[in-house]
Amino acid sequence: MAAHEITARVYYEDTDAGGVVFYGNYMKFAERGRTELLRAIGFENSTLAREAGVLFVVRRITAEYMKPARLDDLLTIKTALKKVNNASFEMFQSIFCQNQMIFSMDVTLVTINMDGKPVRLPDNLRDKLSNFSV
């Protein structure tokens, strides 16, 4: 599985009073990874919404927290495609700190229209996702 990578620094706003990343903020880091993967293959969420009338919503997440990230850590967020369907796609995402995996998740995203109803992925996006490689 080819993976797209980005880095993110842990800021004070990402942590609790003890300087440990709040568990829900891993979802924010993962969202950034998905967004940047789309951008790397030539798509932006805002353009897809405006021009194709499609949005992505999370249908399912299975997450595993292995070790905490802390204030000032530099994280590497890896995003890989597992499967592309007609109206959804599945990804595996992992977060590393100092080359050690500290978080991983499987996520299923569904394509919906502006009325919130499931729709097919635009053909050009499905093709790019199906042929994704770094």
**How does pLDDT run across 15-60, given as a tens digit for each residue?**
999 999 999 999 999 999 999 999 999 999 999 999 999 999 999 9
Q: For 3-71, give the DSSP string.
A: EEEEEEEPPGGGB-TTSBBPTTHHHHHHHHHHHHHHHHTT--HHHIIIII-EEEEEEEEEEEE-S--BT
CATH no., domain 3-130: 3.10.129.10
- The pLDDT score that the predictor gives to residue 47 is 94
**How does pLDDT run across 91-133, given as a tens digit for each residue?**
999 999 999 999 999 999 999 999 999 999 999 999 998 887 5
Whole-model pTM above 0.85?
A: yes
Residues forming the active site: 16
